[in-house]
Structure 1
């Protein structure tokens, strides 16, 4: 109630948790089960967002020259960028870049990378996708680690996608926004403000007290 969040979406259901009881504990090994879920489901969620972005763009998928895909977990080979390319039916030669473990600054990072690609490759159209499901972070409560409840109360599943390009063709494209700049910097004394650590129990993220 104090989180002020009225609705969240989650892949996890009571049935899934009943089949994987170790995910409901705080410190039981469950990474294999979590990994099996996110490797499959994260690209599927990304596909839904990407398909909408492509539809709103109104151009054929064959015009997409680059794919920048980011998700905080589910590291696998081939990566989620490969799976998304196949799910969307993008051309095999699309230039792919997969970013993992970006956390809360993922959106700014992928836009910065996409802007550089679009401005330095004539005619480039970059499909940018971020998606994640909380199956990798969901854990049971612990009386001695109440900080774990912060993420449980705030985070949910979601995805976003956009097409980024330079020098739009006014006869074919209707840009919604103009991206002037995207950058990042490390704030002084910010190390440890929030960390993420893949462990046998899943992805843990103890916040700085």
Structure 2
């Protein structure tokens, strides 16, 4: 495994003069950290204000990789179409510049602790939680990508740093995300019912 900090690897993606970046290139650069690092990057990208529909595209690597963590795969697998999908580097440079300082700060405060949380299926449980969060990210919910995206990023960093305290924070955030989604669904359902009632009274 490379000793290069993950934040430096990500910064390098933006500084590379080549016009396109592929997911395969990212996985190769992440080396043995590919699972956690890819979830972290795409989780952070989902936290940024992006054009409508972007969260669906950016959640696909999470949706494909998180289940593999859940079933204990040793190396990541992605379809060729995803691996070779060209991403315009000019479109990503600004995003990488925004997430790199955040990641640098997180690298300073995280460290290996509460390691028992990663034993006896602990890593797989993180995979299960991230899979469920990815299913939410795929949905075209306005501003609905922030909470689950941040949660995926926190759990991915916990996995990378073996930081059990951070994992606990991630589980708490996942619970809050689920509650927020449930509340939002309830509000939308109530609003739709009210609109139906208003319109039915007009005819």
For this structure pair, what is the TM-score category when the shorter chain's length is used for normalisation?
Answer: under 0.3
Structure with more of its chain in strand, by fraction: 1
Q: TM-score, normalised by structure 2?
A: 0.27
Q: TM-score, normalised by structure 1?
A: 0.26
